[in-house]
Copies of this chain bind each other. A is one copy, B any other.
């Protein structure tokens, strides 16, 4: 993500050796207006719980990291390359490294879980 962090609390990240992390923990970043992530890094995997306010947008971007994820609640309009879909709970995305993608929240809040490999150093 080329957008600079508007807010970042790294102090909330768990110790790297912990096996269990409670809901709502992780390193907090506000990556776009109305889009907050909480990230937890392993060795080669990173989880990112993403909370979208209604109407918020993650603009077109790409990164070398492979990304997959699943909708937890609400609905989001996802665009990957030239394909756009509205996704709901349980729907999955799979974005190879380097492929441009964007997300737009609809009229409701939404929560998604993103997974990255390797870990995104900018999200630690």
Q: Which residues of A approach B to under 8 Å, CB–CB?
A: 18-26, 40, 42-45, 47, 49, 66, 68, 70-72, 78, 80-81, 83, 85, 87-96, 113, 115, 117
Structural contact, A70 and B49, CB atoms closer than 8 A = yes
Query: Which one, B19, B47, B66, B95, contacts A80 given CB within 8 A?
Result: B19
A18 close to B91 (CB less than 8 A)? no
Given contacts A42-B68, A45-B66, A49-B70, contact A21 B117 (CB under 8 A): no
Of the residues B20, B88, B96, contact of A91 by C-beta under 8 Å:
B20
- Shortest CB distance A65–B (Å): 10
Taken together as a complex, chains A and B put the C-alpha atoms of A80 and B87 apart, in Å, by 33
